[in-house]
Structure 1
Amino acid sequence: MENIIKTYENFLIYYSISYILIYLFLAILSWIAIRTYFQSKYFLLKEVLIKSNHTVGVSIVAPAFNEAVTIVYNVKSLLSQEYPKFEVVIINDGSTDDTLAILIEEFSLVKVDFFYQEKIPTQTLRGHYKSTNPVYSKLLIVDKVNGKSKADGSNAGINSAKYPLFICTDVDCILRKDTISMLVKPFIENTEKVIATGAAIRISNSCEFKDGMLYKSHFPTNFFARFQELEYTRSYLFGRMAWSKINGLLLVSGGLGMFDKETVIQAGGYWHQSLGEDMELITRMRKLMHLKKEKFLIIYIPESLCWTEVPASMRIFIRQRIRWARGLIQTLYLHREVLFNPKYGKTGLLIFPYYLFYELAVPVLETLGLIALLVNIMFFDINYHYLSIGSAFVYLFYISITLISVFLDQLIYKHYTGMKEIIILILMVFIEPIIFHPLNVFASIQGYWHFLRQKERKWGIMIRKGFTTPQNQTL
């Protein structure tokens, strides 16, 4: 027994070293990607796109289910985009409250004859609505039977969208007014086919909004939201920008992503059975392009273009992370033929192995390592000096990466204006590995276990508090 534990401990040491080296490599790639982006940012000015009459059209697709309290504010926010050719497609996904009635009254909607092609199968549609008010000519409402997932609603919106590019977002997200022009630029600037673009998402908890736009950014006051702010900053600046640099993205967030509609339709749209529909769609899109032997790009830009509310309680947070973990293992299992398959190029030989051996395996190995440590403490001799040195090294590496992320974020974007908020943010960095990380590991293990048991899939309900205006009113 002791030999088995020692062997496993040695494996963990070498595994941890490889993980740290990979993370350092990703950090370098991320820095290069961010620097390259800002050096070429003004190659095509967004002002040119905003004023052009010949730019590509974009549809904003946003499913809504029981959003009666905030639906008017959210729709007006989406309609405030500064872009010459776009539409907003809101899908009322079988709401049981007054969402549709409120939309009809507020935006003077009438049911219209609509040429609808179901290129992606969805639940039955009840009808399409347009406004009789010219001010809301860009608004299209799709009413349908509930599909029990965001995927089904999104697919109905994609079928109804008239433009070749679409943004998939959540109806409660607040988009920066130049979101379309920023996300569409990579589609225009690159000679290779771009099939998707994404950008950083920030946390709206405690932020102030006015007229559908960010008025003042604040570091969240909620304990759990503060940890998630750190996580989002680290993830977007270091993770996704690095993978974008080598065209290795396997995930474009469901909260904000722009897609080539034809590629999405050919890939089959969002899979309504998935608990990680955003990652699963990108996987199928990559597989499609590899099989077609066409060069393609999926690009992330280091701009904060979207604000969304995150879980503010442990119960909702754990439930969300269980779903994310289950979505990860579900996607990797469903597309397991990709792993180490040269037919799928970089996706099979680099990206899938990374997600399997690091993203998915880390929570499992950490849990087994903790068990081995407890067994050692109870039954065998343990070198506490060596243990403390190793633990300190991992801890310091973890917080160093996060501190660098915070520093870069504040240096580039200056989201926080008060020194008090920055100091609190830095203090949270030091306790995150002790409090927040173990919760993530716990939720991940639960998600894997639910998948293995084939437990009934559930998305759960995200309880939101709404957005705060400068007058301290919650919308």
Structure 2
Amino acid sequence: MYNFLFYLLLEVLGVFFLILSFTVIVIYFVTMIMSALELRDHLRRNRFADYQDIITSPIAPGVSIIAPAYNEAQNIVQNAKSLMSLHYGKFEVIIVNDGSKDNTLEKLIEAFELEKTNYAYNYQIDCKTVRGVYKSRNESFSKLIIVDKKNGGKADALNAGINISSQEIIACIDVDCILSHESLTRMVRPFMEETNRKVIAVGGVIGIANNCDVQDGMVTKYRIPTSLLGRFQVIEYFRAFLMGRMAWTRINGLMLISGAFGFFNRELVLAVGGYFPKTVGEDMELVVRMRRYMEEKDIPYKVGFVPDPLCWTEVPEDEVVLSRQRNRWIRGTIETLQLHQKVRFNPKYGVMGMLSYPYWSLFEKSAPIIELLGLLYTIILILIGDFSAFYFIALYAMLYLLSLLVTSFSILYEQIAFNNYKEKDDLKNLIFTVLVEPFLIHPKIVLWGLKGHLDFIKGKGGWGQMIRTGFKKSEDRKKFEAETNS
């Protein structure tokens, strides 16, 4: 009896993995087609666009840029100046000092001639106690607002900034990100284009600034990172942004906007209660909650995405730091999906309920577990002598080649649309990374995902320490190269 059940289970698992493999193939091909169509349409729409019109337009929405800061004394002044130099008509920069233990606040006060105001702070969204609101005595810095509060984490700091914001659109960013001068004009355009639907949020591409030249708050020379882990993240971001999110935007099924660079309708954010501080996936959770609100109110809406490289950040090139990041991502995904289980396969929630939620559950949340089960299944087949080497090699080769195809197309999309990486060596190194990624890096990603599941079961919270080395400025690079050559 037990033998019968055992072999029946193996047969069921075999059919499951076979169906899953072909499902993955179909999804990848559909994703490539939809993302290509969406990218094509975007390029056509923007071919003759004049973004200067948005800057001077009296109907262009105002933007409140909110940047939480915790122990950022080393770069906070330069980052604030960079944000205030963005090209846009009506915007404000709100930096939230989230209980920093260093002299972040003192550096800001000194650099921008700040003084504490008698601002009557309104706690529209719950957040930790605000100790003070600072404005500059210098009219040159009139766009800058500094909020000093007790430490509560990134989501809590964003909520504090939302409470004090005064513009129609809020732009939630990481304070150490580098934004293109055109980032505001390009990101607000989707809010202005739609007439029959309400645009509730817009996401943008995150570029990787490791090994790039940075001068005066701008990326002046694009290079891929020198490490294998850094190059892997370049192609991973290509797949995620230029392929995955573009495809989901095509069918208005996008459930995630990067917390490093997201624009939201302020009125709606207030209506749903702001960010949820008790999850490490606050960016995804807010988007899902906003979508639920619109679906339940039966209001036509859209979550937009701009594929232009407008925001650049440093990614971890150390395995320990990268593992913490991926651990946090998987825990945030699990938390969000559990908080919004009502959406799952619920036709009331349209594309999100019938396609997006199931996809994220199976291919984002459960992917590490499924891959582990696949490995165990293969080992069991080998042990009982029921293993077909030909079938295994053929299936693995097919999925490997599919992976190469998808990643190659994502690199092709970047080259056709933006062509930031012009050096031949950069492309050669990216192609090499594509070839070795499934063998050298993907197994580690699976292990980190499994640990994220285990940590979630244990109830582990928090972000983990993210260590950044900082961007290398152009003049520093030239000095370094001169010393090396001599």
Same fold (TM over 0.5): yes
Q: Find the residue that maps to 2:471 and give its secondary structure.
A: coil
Determine the C-alpha separation between the residues in 2 that align with 1:216 and 1:51.
Answer: 30
Aligned to 1:390: 395
Q: Find the residue that maps to 2:305 and give its secondary structure.
A: strand
1:181 aligns with 2:179: no
Aligned pair count? 472
Aligned to 2:343: 338
Give CA-to-partner distance per residue, 1:432-457, whole Å, 9 cap, x none: 111221111111111112222223x0
Determine the C-alpha separation between the residues in 2 that align with 1:260 and 1:62.
Answer: 16
Poorly superposed stretches of 4+, deviation over 3 Å: none
1:358 aligns with 2:363: yes
1:454-465 correspondence to structure 2 within 5 Å: 454-455=459-460, 457-465=461-469
Determine the C-alpha separation between the residues in 2 that align with 1:234 and 1:169.
Answer: 21
Could you tell me which of 464, 473, 476 is aligned with 1:472?
Answer: 476
1:165 aligns with 2:165: no
1:45-84 correspondence to structure 2 within 5 Å: 45-84=50-89
1:200 aligns with 2:188: no
Give CA-to-partner distance per residue, 1:324-374, whole Å, 9 cap, x none: 001111111111111122222222122111111222222211110101111
Give CA-to-partner distance per residue, 1:198-257, whole Å, 9 cap, x none: 111011111111111111111011221111111001110110000011110100100101
Q: Find the residue that maps to 1:414 and give its secondary structure.
A: coil
Determine the C-alpha separation between the residues in 2 that align with 1:361 and 1:461.
Answer: 25
Aligned to 1:91: 96
Determine the C-alpha separation between the residues in 2 that align with 1:383 and 1:54.
Answer: 66
Determine the C-alpha separation between the residues in 1 that align with 2:352 and 2:445.
Answer: 26
Give CA-to-partner distance per residue, 1:19-63, whole Å, 9 cap, x none: 210121111111110011111115652110123344221010000
Determine the C-alpha separation between the residues in 2 that align with 1:62 and 1:222.
Answer: 29
Aligned to 1:238: 243
Q: Residue 7 of structure 1: CA displacement?
A: 2.7
1:226 aligns with 2:231: yes
Determine the C-alpha separation between the residues in 2 that align with 1:197 and 1:437.
Answer: 30
1:340 is aligned with what amino acid?
F
Q: Residue 6 of structure 1: CA displacement?
A: 3.5
Identity over aligned residues, as a percent?
A: 43
Aligned to 1:402: 407
1:16-27 correspondence to structure 2 within 5 Å: 16-27=21-32
1:269 is aligned with what amino acid?
G
2:389 is aligned with what amino acid?
Y
Q: Which moved more, 1:271-280 or 1:371-380?
A: 371-380
Aligned to 1:420: 425
1:176 is aligned with what amino acid?
S
Could you tell me which of 219, 231, 236 is aligned with 1:214?
Answer: 219
Determine the C-alpha separation between the residues in 2 that align with 1:108 and 1:299.
Answer: 38
Aligned to 2:273: 268
Determine the C-alpha separation between the residues in 2 that align with 1:135 and 1:193.
Answer: 35
Query: Which runs of no fewer than 5 residues in structure 2 stay unpaired?
Result: 1-5, 480-486
1:142 aligns with 2:152: no
Contact 1:70 1:466 in 2 (8 A): no
Aligned to 2:372: 367
Give CA-to-partner distance per residue, 1:414-446, whole Å, 9 cap, x none: 111211111111111001111221111111111
Determine the C-alpha separation between the residues in 1 that align with 2:47 and 2:384.
Answer: 63
Give CA-to-partner distance per residue, 1:261-306, whole Å, 9 cap, x none: 0101111111000111000000100010011110001011110110
Q: Residue 9 of structure 1: CA displacement?
A: 2.0
1:13 aligns with 2:22: no
Q: Find the residue that maps to 1:219 and give its secondary structure.
A: coil
Determine the C-alpha separation between the residues in 2 that align with 1:101 and 1:291.
Answer: 46
Determine the C-alpha separation between the residues in 1 that align with 2:114 and 2:100.
Answer: 17
Q: For residues 54 and 115 of structure 1, do their structure 2 counterparts lie closer, same or farther at Cα, with a shift above 3 Å needed?
A: farther
Could you tell me which of 39, 51, 56 is aligned with 1:34?
Answer: 39
Determine the C-alpha separation between the residues in 2 that align with 1:205 and 1:26.
Answer: 28
Q: Residue 176 of structure 1: CA displacement?
A: 0.5
Q: Residue 2 of structure 1: CA displacement?
A: 4.0
Q: Find the residue that maps to 1:74 and give its secondary structure.
A: helix
Determine the C-alpha separation between the residues in 1 that align with 2:357 and 2:419.
Answer: 35
Q: Give the superposed CA RMSD.
A: 1.4
2:159 is aligned with what amino acid?
N
Could you tell me which of 301, 304, 311 is aligned with 2:309?
Answer: 304
Determine the C-alpha separation between the residues in 2 that align with 1:411 and 1:189.
Answer: 25
Could you tell me which of 97, 103, 119 is aligned with 2:108?
Answer: 103
Q: Which moved more, 1:47-56 or 1:174-183?
A: 47-56
Q: Find the residue that maps to 1:472 and give its secondary structure.
A: helix
Determine the C-alpha separation between the residues in 2 that align with 1:50 and 1:326.
Answer: 40
Q: For residues 267 and 44 of structure 1, do their structure 2 counterparts lie closer, same or farther at Cα, with a shift above 3 Å needed?
A: farther
1:66 is aligned with what amino acid?
N
Determine the C-alpha separation between the residues in 2 that align with 1:136 and 1:53.
Answer: 22
Aligned to 1:453: 458
2:406 is aligned with what amino acid?
I
2:347 is aligned with what amino acid?
P
1:349 aligns with 2:351: no
Aligned to 2:133: 128
1:320 aligns with 2:325: yes
Determine the C-alpha separation between the residues in 1 that align with 2:417 and 2:49.
Answer: 20
Aligned to 1:151: 155
Q: Find the residue that maps to 1:130 and give its secondary structure.
A: strand
Give CA-to-partner distance per residue, 1:128-169, whole Å, 9 cap, x none: 11111222111100000000x210000001111110101000
Contact 1:219 1:416 in 2 (8 A): yes
1:385 is aligned with what amino acid?
F
Determine the C-alpha separation between the residues in 2 that align with 1:76 and 1:249.
Answer: 32
1:289 aligns with 2:294: yes
Give CA-to-partner distance per residue, 1:183-207, whole Å, 9 cap, x none: 0001111111100011110111111
1:323 is aligned with what amino acid?
R
Q: For residues 135 and 290 of structure 1, do their structure 2 counterparts lie closer, same or farther at Cα, with a shift above 3 Å needed?
A: same
Determine the C-alpha separation between the residues in 1 that align with 2:377 and 2:366.
Answer: 16
1:177 is aligned with what amino acid?
H
Q: Find the residue that maps to 2:289 and give its secondary structure.
A: helix
Q: Find the residue that maps to 1:87 and give its secondary structure.
A: strand
Q: Find the residue that maps to 2:476 and give its secondary structure.
A: coil
Q: Residue 378 of structure 1: CA displacement?
A: 2.7
